[in-house]
Amino acid sequence: MSSVGLTSVKSPRHSSPSPPLPIIRRHLSSLLFKSPKIFQPVGLSLILPDFMADSDTRASVLSQSECDENGGTIEAVGPNYAEIIVIRHGETEWNADRRIQGHLDVNLNDVGRQQAAAVADRLSREPKVSAVYSSDLKRAFDTAEIIAKSCGVLEVTKDPDLRERHLGDLQGIIFHEAAKVNPEAHKAFVSNQKDQEIPGGGESFNQLYERCTSALQRIANKHRGERVVVVSHGGTIRALHKKASPHRGPTARVLNTCVNVFHVSDKEWSIKSWGDVSHLDQTGFLESGFGGDKHSG
């Protein structure tokens, strides 16, 4: 199957908004101290308002907050929680074709590798990460390896519990054809019953939820006081959102290589940012690609 280009008619890509004006970055230090109320502190780190949320600006401000007056490093993450940067894998040909992947091992396409390089570059200019974890499926693991190399992490730790939901007999089928090709499996897939398994060995949402939230909690327990990266899948990341925000659904789709920041402690999960694709202003992203919403797979 041929690679999908940036100008593909069937898969239009959208660019992120242009970054803030250089003058904002140039005077950010003085703005930080003159108008501190526009910044939201989280421990000793900062969550920026939307108009300053591009990677260059974020890295600049975080460097201000992480260095004392003598140039020493200040711990940006509190000792009782882990900051976990959860990233969806880069684009695959099957995403572009709206074909259901599940546990099938599909490679990144050329755009997906470009997206992985873009998010890796972004993370390399942000505060240091101490570890990179990934689903063992190639589309996630290859994304994670690109990130690890840019961030100076020697090895990616594979965890099968970070995989996408197993979608049984629907795997390999184009989504809009699923109801016709396998109506029983499709009905199970779109069911609102959280314990509904997919025929053909597929998982229920509850099974996905239990395995992926347990995996993230294990990672958090091992890395308290640290920033770590986890590369996973659209359906899995939405399940993690459910754990952190049980009464409110995601405000945006989980697009390829979007950045989602969780703070995870023994007793509490919280979401510090969601669905950030500001690093894709050059590569663009598939707004119409399959996955990342309630029918992710």
CATH 3.40.50.300 fits 78-286, yes or no: no
Q: Is residue 63's pLDDT more than 50?
A: no
Q: Is 95 annotated as a binding residue?
A: yes
* Confidence band of 251 (pLDDT split at 50, 70, 90): confident
pTM: 0.75
Residue 40 pairs in a beta bridge with 47
- Residue found by looking up tokens 């242009």 in the block: 18
Q: Which residues contact 114 (CB under 8 A, 6 or more apart)?
A: 90, 283
Q: What is the pLDDT of residue 57?
A: 36
Question: In the predicted model, what is the mean pLDDT of residues 169-173?
Answer: 97
- Residue found by looking up tokens 């989980």 in the block: 254
Q: Is 157 annotated as a binding residue?
A: no
DSSP code string of 37-50: GGSEEETTEEEPPG
Residue 223 bears catalytic tag: no
Residue 259 pairs in a beta bridge with 87, 276
With H, G, I as helix, E, B as strand and everything else as coil, classify residue 197: coil
Residue 296 pairs in a beta bridge with none
Q: Which residues contact 211 (CB under 8 A, 6 or more apart)?
A: 161
**From 89, 186, 233, 263, active-site residue:** 89
Q: Which amino acid is at 196?
A: Q
| pLDDT tens digits along 174-205 | 999 999 999 999 999 999 899 999 999 999 99
Q: What is the pLDDT of residue 290?
A: 58
Domain chopping of the chain, boundaries: 19-76, 78-286
As a whole number of Å, the CA-based R_g of the chain is 19
For 142, the token pair is 């290859």
Q: Which residues contact 57 (CB under 8 A, 6 or more apart)?
A: 19, 20, 24, 25, 28, 48
Q: What is the pLDDT of residue 52?
A: 39
Q: Which amino acid is at 146?
A: I
Q: Is 91 annotated as a binding residue?
A: yes
What does DSSP say about strands 45-47 and 82-88: parallel, antiparallel, or unpaired?
Answer: unpaired
Residue 186 bears catalytic tag: no
Which of 237, 216, 239 is closest to 228 using CA atoms?
Answer: 216
**From 83, 145, 164, 203, active-site residue:** 164
Q: What is the pLDDT of residue 40?
A: 40
Q: What is the pLDDT of residue 139?
A: 99
Find out whether 253 and 183 touch, Cβ atoms under 8 Å: no
Question: In the predicted model, what is the mean pLDDT of residues 129-156?
Answer: 99
Q: Which residues contact 150 (CB under 8 A, 6 or more apart)?
A: 117, 120, 121, 123, 124
Q: Which amino acid is at 164?
A: E
Q: Is 94 annotated as a binding residue?
A: yes
Q: Is 139 annotated as a binding residue?
A: yes
Which of 54, 59, 49, 47 is closest to 21 using CA atoms?
Answer: 54
Q: What is the pLDDT of residue 68?
A: 34
Q: What is the pLDDT of residue 238?
A: 96
- Least confident piece of the model among 46-60, 165-179, 270-284: 46-60
What is the rounded (10 degree) CA torsion for 25, 27, 33, 36?
A: -50
